[in-house]
Structure 1
Amino acid sequence: MKFKAPNCCPVCGHEMMISSLSCSYCQTRIEGSFTPCKFCKLPVEQREFIEVFLKCRGNIKDVEKELGISYPTVRNRLDGVIQSLGYKVQKHEDGEKRVLKQDILSALEKGEISVQEAARLLKKQQSNKLEMR
């Protein structure tokens, strides 16, 4: 039976290091201090989200259906993964994530969101612009 390696210590909560590797065929063992990849360090929920996202080839509409969540939730989870991997998510001056008009229209054109969802997002974007003035 194979188990998934924990990414943080169950005692203190700090990052775990890989200290031993072995070949499943010839049983060769290597010991040392190895750093896990960025994806291995992500929480289980984010790794599962990435798996679904890749399975759906990045099609947000398909991710929505597969996970039973809304377009904004998919975007928020994707932004969370991006941030966890050490990259910046573009934000407005007021701290809210930027959803550009062209992104909304592109998602609508690709069939990733409904006309109603696009209208709601565009209205929200417009009201945010008015609040900033």
Structure 2
Amino acid sequence: MKKEVLGNCPVCQSKLKVVKLHCEHCKTSIEGDFVLDKFSYLSKEDKLFIEIFIKNRGNIKEIEKDLGISYPTVRRNLDQVIGALGYNVKPSEEELSKKEILEKLSKGEITSDEALKRLKGE
């Protein structure tokens, strides 16, 4: 049974690096200082979320169904993955105050239906 490459040390949680690659077919080994990609450092839960997100082409309703979670939880998980990949997480629309939502509506940045949904927390 093959094991997944660990991205973080199980003892201290520091990032691990790969120092040896090996071909089982021709038995060639290459030693060096190799870097893992950003996704290798994500938790199993974050990787599962990304897989479900991609499978559903980012459709939040479908992600909710597949994972059995609510819209705010989908958004929170997405923000967590974005942060774990090293990007700044912008406040989600749900975090905007009612005043900000109404300002967006008055500027024509969102529709009245979108404003109602956001004000209701949907």
Aligned residues: 109
Equivalent position amino acid for 1:28 in 2: T
Per-residue deviation at 1:12? 2.4
CA distances 1:108-129 after superposition (whole Å, capped 9, x unpaired):
xxxxxxxxxx63x32359xxxx
Change (3 A) 1:42 1:97: farther
Counterpart in the other structure of 1:33: 33
Q: Percent identity?
A: 47
Per-residue deviation at 1:28? 1.7
Change (3 A) 1:21 1:74: same
Q: Calculate the TM-score normalised by the size of structure 1.
A: 0.69
- The secondary structure found in structure 1 opposite 2:13 is coil
Counterpart in the other structure of 2:50: 50
Per-residue deviation at 1:83? 1.0
- 1:122 corresponds to 2:100: no
Change (3 A) 1:97 1:28: farther
Counterpart in the other structure of 1:112: none
- The secondary structure found in structure 2 opposite 1:33 is strand
- The secondary structure found in structure 1 opposite 2:36 is coil
Counterpart in the other structure of 1:128: none
Alpha-carbon distance in structure 1 between the residues aligned to 2:96 and 2:89: 8
Change (3 A) 1:23 1:97: farther
Change (3 A) 1:13 1:89: closer
Per-residue deviation at 1:97? 4.0
Alpha-carbon distance in structure 2 between the residues aligned to 1:98 and 1:31: 50
Change (3 A) 1:52 1:81: same
Instruction: Tell me how large the CA RMSD over aligned residues is.
Output: 2.8
Counterpart in the other structure of 1:65: 65
Alpha-carbon distance in structure 1 between the residues aligned to 2:6 and 2:31: 18
Counterpart in the other structure of 2:22: 22
Per-residue deviation at 1:44? 1.2
Alpha-carbon distance in structure 2 between the residues aligned to 1:97 and 1:85: 21
Counterpart in the other structure of 1:6: 6
Q: Calculate the TM-score normalised by the size of structure 2.
A: 0.75
